[in-house]
Amino acid sequence: MPQIKIGSLTLGPRPLIAVPLTDMDVSSVETLQTADIAELRVDMFSDLHLPHIIDIFKTFKNKFPDVPVIATCRSKEEGGAAAITDALRVEIFTHIIDLTDAVDIEVESDISAEISTLTSKHSKTLITSYHNFSQTPDEKKLEEVYEQGRQIGARIVKIAVTPNNMTDIKRLTEFTLNHRPVVTISMGAMGMASRIFLPLVGSLFTFASLETVTAPGQMSIVEVRKFYQAF
């Protein structure tokens, strides 16, 4: 498998931790503790005007120049905090593309191909994502999501789903073992342990909260790092 990077950070040799941040977090935090990657959740920003968004990305780069950044502006349909039009999302990504290291776009979004072209043009890492807050799809659907992301040009395919039983967790674990390069997450209380063990079997990184919890079952970075130090 070709080497996967976000900025200068190479993914794969060890489990990595990404922390999601809002604009308020970027303004207030003075340390990212032991985070490897930051995800700036634009859909959770308090102000969605372009000058403010650009300023937040510049502020982050100035405060934490060595931490690679994923830009995410999640659609409302897949868990976004605000209803943002696709046209505005394209405009946002276009204006911050040189201030980020990777872009996360929903694989089933109407703008996924356009964002793929944008990231390719600027030599940024493309992450295609799929979120399901009610269930864990069957093997066929998981495979379709993976193949669709790869066809679009994703360097990383991210799949975040909700387990309703232990069979669901087993299915996602088996999928993780058999596919590269992926980020897989089993959300909610039942899937909480997966945020630790899936990166140990192939998921490139996990998400942990620093200030703001952005998904069901998300643990704090202190808790997650404690487990990885033990391993």
Of 76, 121, 131, 179, which one is the catalytic site residue? Answer: 131
Q: Is the peptide bond before 163 cis (omega within 30 degrees of 0)?
A: no
Cα four-point dihedral sign 42, 224, 204, 138: negative
For this structure, is 49 an active site residue?
A: no
- E strands along the chain, which residues? 4-6, 9-11, 16-21, 37-41, 69-72, 102-106, 125-131, 156-161, 182-186, 205-209, 219-220
- Strand order in 102-106's β-sheet? 182-186, 156-161, 125-131, 102-106, 69-72, 37-41, 16-21, 205-209, 219-220
Q: Which two tokens stand for residue 120?
A: 């390719």
Contact 77, 109 (CB under 8 A): no
Of 63, 158, 170, 179, which one is the catalytic site residue? Answer: 158
For this structure, is 131 an active site residue?
A: yes
List the catalytic residues.
131, 158
